[in-house]
Homo-oligomer: A and B are copies of this chain.
Amino acid sequence: MNFSYELHELIDLLIPKKIIGHTSFPISHIGSLVETKQGGVSFLGNSKYRKEVEKSQASAILLPMELDLAPKENQCFLFFDNPSFALGKLCQDIERKCCPQPHGWHHPKAVIDATASIGQNVSIGPNVVVESNATIADNVIIMAGCYIGHSAKIGPNSVLHPSVVVMDFCEIGSRVTLFSGVIIGSDGFGYETVDGVHEKIPQIGNVVIGDDVDIGANTTIDRARFSHTKIGKGTKIDNLVQIGHNVTIGEGCLIIAQTGISGSTTIGNHVIIGGQVGIAGHINIPDGVWIGGKSSVVSYKSKMGKILRGNPAMSIGDANHFYVLRPKIPNLFDRVSKLEKSLSELLPRSELEQI
């Protein structure tokens, strides 16, 4: 994104607590301390990169108050209690300036059923399909090529990126972001096998997504057999995640990419699940549990503690202990062979002494 600030505009926006150095030049890019060049703005977010501040070519650097460093000539240091937070504010402003903001139009190539209810200031992009009796609340943005099924509901201020599918009867909360390729409410994987033939079990429930949820690109969340598959308020889900039918996920969880959660499992609040984790069906993961990347969880027992790792998962301590010992296992075999040899030499002699 190309942008252009005069440094004083940036100062007016971020209101630093302290300013050292030259303040009158234009700013046109943003990046890490290493990659930012003259004319750019950078920041120190983690004190371990402190040494990079002195080497940085950035013209303006956002720094923590406690840092005691002076800028080079033609450089400006801006000091904050929380430079990361200041940077976030700047990034939001850049985003707002650079990305075109839709303002409440319905594209003529959208296909909106006459029975659908569309709120105030809703933006609907080209090739969007909104089916019968769907409800789109105020200030929703639906980008190109999305599909909103029959009787689906999208809450206020939510954003659907291009090519999202929300199937019939599913309900999306307020301020939810669905990224491209997300499929909400496809059928759960349920079959009853009769004489070797897999008969489909109808999936007539829906998906209910709470407020302030984000769901990453190409993630799939299946509709319930009946009742609801539920994602709690403030939970953030990464790309290519699979969530099975009748799963309940609590509030404020983080679920990293390519994780799969099998049907009817319940995840508590503030659970953090690493990438490529697999969680079996019909189990409960309590509040506040952390699960390391690529783990599988087939059952949860309280003795596992709050941090799990491994396949199948153990307590983090047990898992790390095993991983440390694993490369020593070949040597353990050798040690046991040696013991056997020593003992076999020893034993007959001992036996002999018995006589």
- Give A residues with C-beta under 8 Å from B: 1, 30-32, 35, 84-85, 88, 91-92, 94-95, 98-100, 107, 109, 111, 125-127, 129, 131-132, 143-145, 147, 149-151, 161-163, 165, 167-169, 177, 179-181, 183, 186-187, 189, 191-192, 196-202, 204-206, 214, 216-218, 220, 222, 226-227, 234, 236, 238-240, 242, 244, 252, 254, 256-258, 260, 262, 270, 275-276, 278, 280, 293-294, 296, 298, 311-312, 314, 318, 321-323, 325-330, 332-333, 335-336, 339-340, 342-343, 346-347, 349-350, 353-354
Contacts and interface: CB of A to CB of B under 8 A. Distances in A.
B330 A333 contact: no
Contacts of A35: 227
A88 B194 CA distance: 13
16 contacts: A91-B204, A98-B204, A100-B150, A107-B111, A162-B167, A179-B183, A183-B217, A189-B257, A220-B257, A242-B257, A242-B258, A260-B276, A280-B293, A318-B327, A322-B329, A329-B329
Contacts of A95: 202, 204
Contacts of A129: 125-127, 144-145, 162
A32 B162 CA distance: 36
Contact of A204 (B1, B125, B276): B1
Contacts of A32: 226-227
Contacts of A216: 186-187, 189, 220
- Copies of this chain per assembly: 3
Nearest to A133: B100
A280 B294 CA distance: 10
Contacts of A239: 183, 186, 189, 220, 222, 242
B197 A186 contact: no
A198 B253 CA distance: 9
Contact of A99 (B85, B150, B329): B150
A346 B346 CA distance: 9
Nearest to A233: B197
Nearest to A206: B1
Contacts of A167: 161-162, 180
Contact of A322 (B199, B236, B252, B330): B330
B147 A162 contact: yes
A163 B257 CA distance: 21
B332 A197 contact: no
Among A129, A162, A186, A204, residue most surrounded by chain B Cβ atoms (within 10 Å): A162
A111 B88 contact: no
Nearest to A202: B91
A262 B336 CA distance: 40
Contacts of A346: 343, 346-347, 350
